[in-house]
Amino acid sequence: MKALVTGSSSGIGKDIARELAKRGYDLVLVARNEEQLKKLAKELKEKNKIEVETIAMDLSKIENCKELHKKVQNVDILVNNAGFGDCGNFTKTSLDKEISMINTNIVAYHILMKLYLIDMKAKGSGKILNVASIAGFMPGPLMSTYYATKAYIVRISESIREELKKEKSNVQISILCPGPVSTNFNKVANVKFHMREANSMQVAKYAVKKMEQGKFYIVPGIDVKLAKIGAKLTPTPLISKITYMVQKRKIER
């Protein structure tokens, strides 16, 4: 059995790779940081006696995503995890950074999901885990682009799930929707979270366990589960006001 994990050089992706390795999956690790990938591969090989391939690649480039699919075949689990965020007023944040974010958080997910889903449906088995966020269920002023990218992942995953159901397919899709997690994401996004941050390894363990159980919405933590329910029940204008205040506090800390 083989799993492909993007964004696996740090954070949740790295810990999901560790968790899959414990379960005996051979791994293909993809990220831009080649040094960190090789370090992780050495760790996982020694601890778990599995095969690990590393591919240093920038998935914000469309052709790289297509090349990755050509290069890595017979994947049983795809973990779409590569991504980053940014914080600030929409008119003041970097356009180049936002375009790169859209390409990484949406376009790369879309391409890899589509290409590997075709393969999985053809062989009648496989799992896709899209790492989204609780942000995907609500508007996100001062992090507008990031929240929008995660909303895309939530909605397209929900739609594909229904298609697979109607086809009675054995292929499974899941979305991981954590709240703030203690990872390098915060540094890249230029924020400090006021809300309690979850432990990355605990989130990864929960995610892999629930994915293997066939769970679609994977929401770690009671506080995040309550936030998801609140986002569904609360009027959008009020959610926007609350989110704005929360994000503003991040910037000011």
Q: Which of 140, 133, 89 is nearest to 242 (CA)?
A: 140
Please report the DSSP string for the chain in residue order: -EEEEESTTSHHHHHHHHHHHHTT-EEEEEES-HHHHHHHHHHHHHHH---EEEEE--TTSHHHHHHHHHHS-S-SEEEE-------S-TTTS-HHHHHHHHIIIIIHHHHHHHHHHHHHHHHT--EEEEE--GGGGS--TTSHHHHHHHHHHHHHHHHHHHHHHHTT-S-EEEEE--S-BSSTHHHHHT---SSPPBPHHHHHHHHHHHHHTT-SEE--SHHHHHHHHHHHHS-HHHHHHHHHHHHHHHHH-
Catalytic annotation, residues: 146
CA 114 from chain centre, in angstroms, equals: 16
**C-beta separation of 28 from 41 below 8 A:** no
Length of the chain: 253
Backbone dihedral angles phi then psi of residue 205, each to the nearest 5 degrees: -60, -45
